[in-house]
Chains A and B, each alone.
Chain A
Amino acid sequence: MSKNSKGIEVAEIISDKCIACQICIGECPVGAIELSDEGVAHVDPEVCVGCGKCFEVCPVEAVLFEKKKRKKISKSQRGAHALKGVSYEGVAVFIEVANGSAAPVSFELIGKAKELALKRKCRVIGFVLGNNVEKIADDAVFYGCDDVHMVSHPEMGTYLSRPYGKILANLCKEVCPEIFLIGATHLGRDLAGVVATRLGAGLTADCTGLDIEEETGLLLMTRPTFGGNIMATIFCEHRRPQMSTVRPRVMKLPAKDLFRKGNIFRHEFTPIEDPLAQVVGFISDVKTSGEKDITEYPALVTAGKGACDISAFPMLQELAELLGGTLACTRPVVESGLMPYERQVGQTGKTVAPKLYVAVGVSGAIQHFVAIQGAEKIVAINSDENAPIFQVADVGIVGDYQKIIPALIKQLKEKM
């Protein structure tokens, strides 16, 4: 532990551990900490007064500091005004309605909510908004909701951020769940930010893991960050509900029990006074290209830069169909105009988690890998035996894909 010229034992940042969250910078009472050009916190030893606040608030133990016995003060200040004596109970799930039926992710979240509710010894609550959604409210019970709160009205037939956000926030204020889960679909992500802002609640996006911390009863939300290279576990101590969005197909769909009983509460629809946006048109992906989203297939055959050749696509297509999947591609293939952006896998494209991922001529840059790490099996075919994709592939073939793919198709057919 080093001392400065005034003889004060100062704090030091271990730069390898620092995640640049800047919490220490905000906490330091004398402004001794700055973010360096390397993007890590740095303590100016001559300004530091050795109070140790940075040590206490650092989430990743990146601060070297001697006095380890100080009590944590700042955590109680976090999130400003606290719970104000309202009692929050229950794990709530937003049941998203799309084209008259519930989005599968909503039922997946009910499964997770049941698990969390078991640990918290509380009820599973469903919020259903839409028009003629009575049947979906029943389904929510069959999948595991104990109480379903429903607003069913013709004006709720089309999703709009403002009315949905307002009505859902009001439902939360009335029902007071301590946890609130929303599917990380386009709609869910659009909505979650509105509801959290209205409630002043903490919201964590795209969680891949949710659990209850035994000692505190808090929700621990684990999510990939820095483009998936790091997993961060987030919690929210002083605001309720603890909100989280979760991507589709991350949680398991629970079994449907048609004999399960629950309470369904119908809430009045209160019209929004402000002028609203209008949805004046909708073009379905299915109509334009006759295809499902690539994320929905159990298998993907992905053409990378090394297979960016339109004459090879029929053969890749045949392989994909054989595997029950479809074609995808990397960014260079989209940039060359050979495949639409909808099929791009990668950091700026889609994140996929198929059972089988066949990468053809894909080098496997980290921008690509972060989007496929959820795949169950990765098969790589590449002529460069040093391509990084081989480091993450379960099995690989080094060579010319033009010769390998036909052999693969032939042998797969023989296996059927």
Chain B
Amino acid sequence: MHIICCLKQVPDTAQVKIDPETNTLVRAGIESILNPFDLVAIEQAVRIKENHGGTITVITMGPPQASSILRQAISLGVDDVVLLSDRAFAGADTLATSYTLAMAIIKLGNNIPVDLVLCGKQAIDGDTAQTGPGIATRLKYTQLTYVSSIQWIDPENRKIQVERKVDGGVETVLGDLPALLTVELELAKPRRASLPSLIASLKAPVPIWDAKAIEAVETLVGIKGSPTWVRKISSPAPRQGGPKFRAGTDPDKAVAQCLEVLFSDSTFFSNFKLTGGRNSDVEKF
């Protein structure tokens, strides 16, 4: 099996904020991390390798600093890494990104044919979930998004069966290899790297491929290959905190005050009905 994982380095988005006074991004001290969904993809790849043997290659597109997530992947047990880094790649939207990653996967497949590509279901900075389907479409691989469980893989007969989340349930899909999977958080719980492998990962070489190395067409990568463009950014309308009441020894009073505030907004409560607890859909714990 040749498994490829596509990773993305993302800012720890929980820390990104807008300064309310200057209306600018506050970035001081914000860490870059491996997208949490991609960590699951690595874990799943390592488990498949443990069962079926093979090679895992992980790739990411980004500036030279992104090599840190590749080293993290090495510490978790992947075999090879490639950093796709070129000024020409900068400013890419999902269309250009999927092209660049697809070209890299084609090149990797020239050495050892690719059986499986694993991606996180989305990245936590953009939340678009568009790059995976873009890669699968370009490579004509079986596209399996939102995978929550891999039931079996049969490398000899080139088949895979997975469970994937769909609206209103979970569906089981049987498809051909090569396939591209985008993975849900519950697919596999990531392991921790051992100390020796962590140390080894620090010394591991990180090969860098530029646009020429993957034979990418100049007009299809980076800013030139990206149809979408940011016009402006703004802060979401801030929510104002309302009054708070101390329950102390008299919770009834605090609750009464709280409900008074809620019910004082007549437009809200005219649209909101208390059901009186007749709700047949609710599961009992």
Contact = CB atoms under 8 A, between A and B. Distances in A.
Given A79-B227, A275-B176, A395-B243, A321 B89 contact: no
Interface in B202-258: 219-220, 222-236, 239, 241-248, 251-252, 254-256, 258
Contacts of B169: 282-288
Contacts of B231: 59, 220, 233-235
Contacts of B94: 193, 196, 203, 205
B165 to A, nearest CB: 6
Nearest to B175: A277
Contacts of B47: none
A175 interface: no
B36 A348 contact: yes
A244 to B, nearest CB: 10
Contact of B87 (A19, A26, A395, A412): A26
A186 B239 contact: no
A347 interface: yes
Contacts of B235: 229-231
B11 A226 contact: yes
A207 B161 CA distance: 33
A100 to B, nearest CB: 12
A234 B95 CA distance: 14
B244 A393 contact: yes
A171 interface: no
Nearest to A234: B228
B259 A411 contact: yes
A157 B34 CA distance: 39
Q: 8 closest pairs, A vs B, by CB?
A: A399-B247, A193-B133, A202-B227, A227-B13, A277-B175, A281-B172, A396-B244, A26-B90
Contacts, number: 396
Interface of B: 11, 13-19, 22, 24-28, 30, 32, 36, 63, 65, 87-95, 98, 124-134, 136-138, 140, 142-146, 161, 165-176, 185-186, 219-220, 222-236, 239, 241-248, 251-252, 254-256, 258-259, 261-263, 265, 268, 271-279, 281-285
Interface in A73-98: 74-75, 77-81, 98
B256 to A, nearest CB: 6
A193 to B, nearest CB: 3
Given A19-B25, A291-B281, A397-B247, A202 B133 contact: no
B223 A78 contact: yes
Contacts of B239: 373, 378, 391-392
Interface stretch (A1-9, A30-38, A132-140, A263-271): A30-38
Interface in A183-217: 185-187, 189-194, 196-198, 200-206
Given A186-B145, A189-B129, 20 more contacts: A22-B63, A38-B30, A59-B233, A79-B225, A186-B165, A197-B134, A203-B95, A204-B228, A205-B126, A226-B11, A229-B17, A237-B229, A277-B142, A324-B279, A348-B185, A378-B239, A395-B242, A404-B254, A407-B255, A408-B258
Interface residues of A, number: 147
Contact of B272 (A289, A356, A392, A416): A356
Nearest to B86: A26
A174 interface: no
A162 B19 contact: no
Contact of A197 (B138, B232, B262): B138
Contacts of B176: 275, 277
Nearest to A325: B279
Given A190-B133, A193-B94, A373-B239, A226 B282 contact: no
A321 B224 contact: no
A225 B273 CA distance: 33
24 contacts: A22-B90, A26-B89, A34-B63, A38-B30, A57-B223, A80-B219, A159-B166, A189-B129, A193-B134, A202-B227, A226-B16, A230-B18, A235-B228, A235-B231, A236-B227, A277-B142, A277-B144, A277-B173, A280-B172, A280-B173, A367-B14, A398-B254, A404-B251, A404-B255
Interface stretch (A113-121, A141-149, A249-257, A310-318): A310-318
Interface of A: 14-28, 31, 34-35, 37-40, 57, 59-60, 74-75, 77-81, 98-99, 103, 159, 161-162, 165, 185-187, 189-194, 196-198, 200-206, 220, 224-239, 274-275, 277-293, 298-299, 310, 313-314, 317-318, 320-327, 339, 341, 347-348, 355-356, 365-367, 370, 373, 376-380, 385, 390-400, 403-404, 407-408, 410-413, 415-416
B222 A26 contact: yes
Secondary structure class of chain A's binding surface, majority of residues: mixed
B234 A231 contact: yes
Given A161-B143, A380-B244, A416 B138 contact: no
Contacts of B126: 205, 225
Contacts of B256: 411
A186 B28 CA distance: 35
Contacts of B166: 159, 186-187, 282
Most buried by A among B175, B228, B242: B228
B273 A324 contact: yes
B284 to A, nearest CB: 7
Contact of A98 (B22, B95, B168): B168
B138 A25 contact: no
Given A28-B87, A31-B87, A415-B259, A322 B274 contact: yes
